[in-house]
C-alpha cells in the first residue's frame, strides 16, 4: 500500500535525447519540410548551412534566392536584416529538432585548413557548419523510399565519403539544380516517378565481366544519364608510356566495354554526361568529345557541358 502513496514520476517530461524517441514516433512527427531536407541530404550526402538556409527557409517567405544573396552581402558588412535573421532562426530550430531526434549530424571542421590557420581562426570567425545524415536518418529514408536491401548504404560508407566532401558537394549541386531549377519546374516531371537520381551506383555488363561506377545515374523517363563530374584533375589522354594510369579516354573505354557486353536495353541506350563546372574555355569540353569519338566513333553517346542544364538542353 505504501507504494501507492509514493509520488508518481512526471509522465509529461520533455524528451531531449535521441534515445527517448522510438523510430515510429520520429516518423510520425516529421513534417513535409523535414522529410524534404532529410531526403535531399540522402542524395547530396552533405550540405553546408549557407546553402540550406536559402533553399528551405528563405523560400518560405516567398522570396527569391537572389534576394537572399544580396541581403547576405550587406549582412556580411555588418548591416542587420530582420528577414535574414528570421530565416536563420527557423533553420536553427529545425536543425536542432532533427539533431535531438538522432536524424542528422553536423560538423564545422575543415580538413583543408592547416593546423596553424585553424588555431588562428578559432576566435576570429565562425566556421561553416555542414550537415550529414546519421545512422538513424539513413535507415528511415531508405525505409520510406523502399530501397532494396542490396542497394542500401552503410553508415561506414557514408562516413568515408566525407573525405571527399568537396567532390560530393559539387555533385550535390547538380542534383539540387535538377530538382529545384530544371525538372521540378515542369509540371509533368515528378521526382521518383518521372525522374530519379542514384549517386554512387555501379553498372555491370552481363555476367559482371566489366563494371564501372559513375558519380551518379540520372533517369529521366526511360533515358539514363551516367553522370561524371570532371574537376579537370586528370588528363583526357595519357602518353602511351603510361598505359596503367587513369584518363578520361580510359574511363570512356570502360563504359564502352560495359555497354557492349550488356543486354539491358536502358543501359545500352545510356548517355555519358561529363559535367565540367570549372571549364572557362571550351578546350576541355572539346577534348573530351574528341576522346569519346575515338572510342565510340561518330555516335551521340558522350556529351559534355559546364552544367547539367547545358547537356539536357543540347539533347532537346
The full set of domain ranges for the chain reads 15-153, 166-316
Contact 197, 218 (CB under 8 A): yes
On the question of pLDDT at 267 being above 90, the answer is yes
Q: What is the mean pLDDT of residues 278-285?
A: 88
Which comes out higher in pLDDT, residue 249 or 77? Answer: 249
What are phi and psi for residue 226, nearest 5 degrees?
-95, 105
On the question of pLDDT at 123 being above 50, the answer is no
Q: What is the mean pLDDT of residues 28-46?
A: 95
CA distance 237 to 247: 5
Q: What is the mean pLDDT of residues 247-265?
A: 95
Proportion of the chain above pLDDT 70, given as a percent: 79
Query: From the CB of residue 172, how many other CB atoms can be counted at a distance below 10 Å?
Result: 23
Q: What is the mean pLDDT of residues 68-79?
A: 65
On the question of pLDDT at 194 being above 70, the answer is yes
Most confident segment among 132-141, 142-151, 306-315? 132-141
User: Which of 128-137, 217-226, 305-314 bottoms out in mean pLDDT, i.e. has the lowest?
Assistant: 305-314
Q: What is the mean pLDDT of residues 184-193?
A: 84
Contact 64, 180 (CB under 8 A): no
Query: What does the pLDDT read at residue 120?
Result: 41
Q: Give CA torsion, residues 111, 115, 119, 124, to 10 deg.
A: -50
On the question of pLDDT at 110 being above 80, the answer is no
On the question of pLDDT at 115 being above 60, the answer is no
Query: What does the pLDDT read at residue 14?
Result: 55
Which comes out higher in pLDDT, residue 15 or 119? Answer: 15
How are the residues of the chain apportioned to helix, strand and coil, as percentages rounded to the nearest 5?
50, 15, 35
Beta bridge partners of 305: 275
Query: Residues of 214-233 as b/e, b for ≥16 C-beta within 10 angstroms?
Result: bbbbbebeeebbbbbbbeee
Q: What is the mean pLDDT of residues 175-184?
A: 90
What are phi and psi for residue 219, nearest 5 degrees?
-115, 125
CA distance 267 to 270: 5
Q: Which three three-digit cell numbers place residue 176?
A: 539540387
User: Which of 20-24, 29-33, 281-285, 305-309 bottoms out in mean pLDDT, i.e. has the lowest?
Assistant: 20-24
Beta bridge partners of 204: 211
User: Which of 72-81, 108-117, 192-201, 260-269 bottoms out in mean pLDDT, i.e. has the lowest?
Assistant: 108-117
pLDDT-based confidence at residue 278 (cuts at 50, 70, 90): confident
CA distance 90 to 88: 5
Query: What does the pLDDT read at residue 246?
Result: 84
Q: What is the CATH number of domain 166-316?
A: 3.40.1350
Query: What does the pLDDT read at residue 171?
Result: 96
pLDDT-based confidence at residue 58 (cuts at 50, 70, 90): confident
Looking at every residue in the chain, the average pLDDT score rounds to 84
Amino acid at each position: 500500500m505504501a507504494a501507492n502513496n509514493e509520488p508518481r514520476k512526471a509522465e509529461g517530461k520533455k524528451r531531449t535525447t535521441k534515445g527517448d524517441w522510438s523510430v515510429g514516433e520520429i516518423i510520425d512527427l516529421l513534417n513535409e519540410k523535414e522529410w524534404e531536407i532529410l531526403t535531399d541530404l540522402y542524395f547530396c550526402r552533405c550540405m553546408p548551412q549557407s546553402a540550406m538556409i536559402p533553399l528551405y527557409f528563405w523560400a518560405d517567405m516567398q522570396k527569391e534566392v537572389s534576394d537572399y544573396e544580396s541581403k547576405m552581402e550587406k549582412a556580411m558588412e555588418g548591416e542587420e536584416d530582420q528577414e535574414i535573421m528570421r530565416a536563420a532562426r527557423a533553420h536553427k530550430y529545425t536543425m536542432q529538432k532533427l539533431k535531438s531526434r538522432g536524424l542528422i549530424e553536423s560538423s564545422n571542421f575543415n580538413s583543408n585548413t592547416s593546423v596553424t590557420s585553424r588555431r588562428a581562426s578559432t576566435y576570429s570567425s565562425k566556421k561553416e557548419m555542414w550537415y550529414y545524415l546519421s545512422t538513424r536518418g539513413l535507415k528511415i529514408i531508405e525505409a520510406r523510399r523502399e530501397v532494396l536491401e542490396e542497394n542500401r548504404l552503410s553508415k561506414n560508407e557514408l562516413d568515408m565519403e566525407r573525405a571527399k566532401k568537396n567532390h560530393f558537394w559539387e555533385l550535390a549541386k547538380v542534383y539540387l539544380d535538377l530538382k529545384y531549377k530544371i525538372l521540378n519546374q515542369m509540371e509533368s516531371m515528378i521526382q521518383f516517378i518521372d525522374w530519379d537520381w542514384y549517386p554512387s551506383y555501379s553498372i555491370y555488363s552481363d555476367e559482371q565481366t566489366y563494371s564501372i561506377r559513375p558519380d551518379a545515374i540520372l533517369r529521366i523517363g526511360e533515358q539514363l544519364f551516367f553522370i561524371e563530374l570532371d574537376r579537370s584533375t586528370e588528363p583526357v589522354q595519357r602518353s602511351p608510356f603510361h598505359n596503367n594510369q587513369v584518363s578520361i579516354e580510359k574511363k570512356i573505354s570502360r563504359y564502352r566495354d560495359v555497354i557492349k557486353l550488356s543486354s539491358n536495353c536502358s543501359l545500352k541506350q545510356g548517355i555519358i554526361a561529363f559535367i565540367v563546372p570549372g571549364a572557362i574555355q571550351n578546350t576541355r569540353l572539346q577534348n573530351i568529345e574528341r576522346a569519346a569519338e575515338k572510342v565510340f566513333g561518330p555516335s551521340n553517346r558522350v556529351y559534355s557541358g559546364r552544367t547539367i542544364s547545358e547537356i539536357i538542353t543540347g539533347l532537346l
